[in-house]
Chains A and B, each alone.
Chain A
């Protein structure tokens, strides 16, 4: 979906990351002073296995335009298998969202290890560019604001 008034649009992106790989990887981005877009807010979880799919929906409902979900590469999970469980959950969740017509391009899944500081910066920049292209997630926001709109200005 393209949007003509996107020049001033700053995507709001929230990142759900695991403590041991991606959070540490993002720390390394900082230690290496690699610059990336300011649009992302990071939420630290112990493991990708902990990330509830409902939190992703809550993020969209609260106004996120894009979401990053990232954790340890397969076989590198600090808890041995949390990321494998998460992977299955995302496979199923993604297929459901697609059936419902929710824009799955707005959720970016990635594996970023504690050593991949540069990859984290690229991931954020890339996601920001994608979401900028897609425009604000008004489709979902409109539904989330349903009550407000009904009671208020519309």
Chain B
């Protein structure tokens, strides 16, 4: 038995949790796994292959309803949990299991305050391919950017996989399902896709934890995460609010400072 299994069994045994949401190995990758008894916990793994944001299940009543949940959390998952807590969406008594900093041991975070402390001090850092793409976009002229996105958006099939994968898209009724008025046309056209993405990203402003779930989910491979990432970075620069540090600042869009600086309102 590995440490993770042992810890999961302990939480299930002492009543801290009645369900553990985690990852298991499948076909050389990982997939979500739900354990309610000790017999299941042997499958649990928590390593760098765990890239899905399983916090998405925390707002699904059919999965968490009636359960006390423990989540094996990577940093993006933990950030999501803090954000959900701030938005009153984290079920009461949810705990997180995380790898300790050294990567060797495991720790249990029983309260949101504990999760926040871990998340704090890890500002968003865009690197690798994302950074490259963002810089490429920045270097383009406005018209080129428009053509770039128009090309990308025209491939969108409006499947809303980005919405389904995002742990922070938990509305009972999404704006695209609202037809009084019909804010966004239901069919897939560049305009409708563009408007949907603008809405999605605006709704994510100051909330996105930059986990990349939307990108992974998109069957057309549209780099939509770049929009949320760019905005998250801009918000971090503009307002000094990093993802997951919301508890101190309040939500970026529903709070303000009288001294907010801009240069375009005259």
Binding site for B on A (CB under 8 A): 1, 53-54, 57-58, 61, 74-75, 81, 84-85, 87-104, 109-111, 139, 143-144, 146-147
Contacts and interface: CB of A to CB of B under 8 A. Distances in A.
A101 B146 contact: yes
Contacts of B205: 92, 96
A95 B234 contact: yes
Interface string B161-205: 000000000000000000000010001011100110011011001
A100 B255 CA distance: 25
Contacts of B262: 87, 90-91
Interface stretch (B79-87, B106-114, B137-145): B137-145
Contacts of B194: 100, 143
Q: Counting chain A CB atoms within 10 Å of each CB, which of B140, B145, B183, B266 scores highest?
A: B266
B126 interface: no
Contact of A101 (B145, B195, B257): B145
B191 A84 contact: no
B258 interface: yes
B230 A146 contact: no
B159 interface: no
B256 interface: yes
B253 interface: yes
Contacts of A89: 253
A96 B201 contact: yes
B124 interface: no
Contacts of B247: none
B265 interface: yes
A90 B265 contact: yes
Nearest to B235: A92
Nearest to B134: A99
Prevailing SS type, chain B contact patch? helix
Candidate in A61, A75, A139, A143 with the most chain B CB atoms within 10 angstroms? A143
A144 B264 contact: no
B102 interface: no
Given A96-B201, A143-B194, A101 B256 contact: no
Contact of A146 (B191, B198, B257): B191
Contact of B230 (A61, A75, A99, A147): A99
B234 A109 contact: no
Contact of B260 (A91, A93, A99, A143): A91
21 contacts: A1-B143, A53-B198, A57-B195, A58-B183, A61-B191, A84-B257, A84-B260, A87-B265, A88-B256, A91-B262, A95-B231, A96-B227, A99-B137, A99-B145, A99-B227, A100-B198, A101-B140, A101-B145, A101-B149, A104-B264, A144-B191
B6 interface: no
Given A88-B252, A96-B205, 13 more contacts: A53-B198, A53-B202, A90-B262, A92-B205, A92-B253, A95-B231, A95-B238, A96-B230, A99-B137, A109-B265, A111-B265, A139-B143, A143-B194
A102 B252 contact: no
B254 interface: yes
A87 B198 contact: no
A143 B265 contact: no
B38 interface: no
Contact of A92 (B149, B190, B199, B252): B252
A128 to B, nearest CB: 16
A57 B265 contact: no
Contacts of B190: 143, 146
